[in-house]
Amino acid sequence: MLIAITRAVSPSINRCELTFHAQEPIDVAKAEAQHAAYEECLRQLGVRVVSLAAEPDLPDAVFVEDAAIVVDEVAVIPVMGAASRRPEAESLARALSAYRPLKFMEAPATLDGGDVMRIGRRLFVGASSRTNADGIAQLRTLLAEFGYEVIAVEVKGCLHLKSACTYVGKNGILINRAWVDVTRFAGFELLDVPASEPNAANALLVEDAVILPSAFPQTRAMLEARGFAVRSVDVSELQKAEGGVTCKSVIFTAPAIA
């Protein structure tokens, strides 16, 4: 069974960190409703959702993906690139400890989970404004004993690697080539987002379904024409906070550890 850890929207989300987006007012009630619909979409796909309470003093805390990297054997708790977000890790680590042993990264390493795209035993890690070389090196060291390969990928013009590309199954990577070093993805089929939808590369694969923001109908049509099963969800308010569909959950396979 797949488990998704999520967290309720913070009432202070309008104070979120922004790097590439201009600030826009976020309707908190609408964001909460959209997040609830996102969680329901996961449930409909057979995922057990474990929802954590909101963190009123942590505006970005709904974006739980950034605070952990979970593989089959262990959960790694990073030092997130934005100092204001680092307190988010404490409660998420407590929740994950029921399912995985924990390993902790140390400064000067910084790494956001949104920079980590796992495909099998390979983890592609974005070298971004939030993830530095020390972070990539520490993740490589922490996961080496489990046989994972960690591959650094240059990211430019967007927040995280998974803003620029995500794995959607069938050996395909949905991608905006302008934001990422595509040479690292030899052997994969690169599925280019339409030029009119440059932010559409962030999609979430759950079993055989691809969850995609409803703001990107041309990307959905392209994927469906190629045989992908797509579920659209409205995350427009969270997109104002540089969020997408991957960053609102940490998804992994049970069973729990004792």
**Over the stretch 40-49, which tens digit does the pLDDT of each residue have?**
999 999 999 9
User: Three-state secondary structure along 128-158?
Assistant: CCCCCHHHHHHHHHHHHCCCCEEEEEEECCC
Exposed, middle or buried by CB within 10 Å (0-12, 13-18, 19+), for 123? Answer: buried
Give yes or no for a contact between 156 and 177, defined as CB atoms under 8 angstroms apart.
no
Q: What is the pLDDT of residue 79?
A: 98
Mean pLDDT of the 16-22 span: 82
Entry field: residues in the chain: 258
What is the C-alpha to C-alpha distance for residues 165 and 35, in angstroms, rounded to an integer?
22
Backbone φ and ψ for 204, nearest 5 degrees, come out as -120, 115
Catalytic residue chosen out of the listed positions 35, 41, 160, 165? 160
> Is 42 a domain residue?
yes
Work out the mean pLDDT of the chain and round it to a whole number: 96
Q: How confident is the model at residue 254 (pLDDT cuts 50, 70, 90)?
A: confident
21 is an active site residue: no
> Is 258 a domain residue?
no
> Is 216 a domain residue?
yes
165 is an active site residue: no
**Over the stretch 212-245, which tens digit does the pLDDT of each residue have?**
999 999 999 999 999 999 999 999 999 999 999 9
What is the C-alpha to C-alpha distance for residues 38 and 42, in angstroms, rounded to an integer?
6
Q: How confident is the model at residue 258 (pLDDT cuts 50, 70, 90)?
A: very low
**Over the stretch 58-101, which tens digit does the pLDDT of each residue have?**
999 999 999 999 999 999 999 999 999 999 999 999 999 999 99
**Over the stretch 90-131, which tens digit does the pLDDT of each residue have?**
999 999 999 999 999 999 999 999 999 999 999 999 999 999
Q: How confident is the model at residue 255 (pLDDT cuts 50, 70, 90)?
A: low
Q: Is 69 helix (H, G, I), strand (E, B) or coil?
A: strand
Mean pLDDT of the 7-15 span: 97
> Is 129 a domain residue?
yes
Catalytic residue chosen out of the listed positions 16, 41, 158, 247? 247
Q: Give me the number of domains the chain comprises.
A: 1
Is residue 257 pLDDT above 70, yes or no? no
Give yes or no for a contact between 69 and 116, defined as CB atoms under 8 angstroms apart.
yes
**Beta strand pairing call for 250-253 and 2-7:** antiparallel
Mean pLDDT of the 150-165 span: 97
β-strand partners of 149: 122
Is residue 256 pLDDT above 60, yes or no? no
Q: How confident is the model at residue 22 (pLDDT cuts 50, 70, 90)?
A: confident
Q: What is the pLDDT of residue 3?
A: 98
> Is 110 a domain residue?
yes
Query: Looking at this protein, which amino acid is placed at residue 177?
Result: R
Tokens describing residue 143? 């996961």
> Which domain, by its residues, includes 239?
2-253
For residue 68, the domain's CATH number is 3.75.10.10
Percent helix, strand, coil in the chain, to 5, is 30, 25, 45
> Is 122 a domain residue?
yes
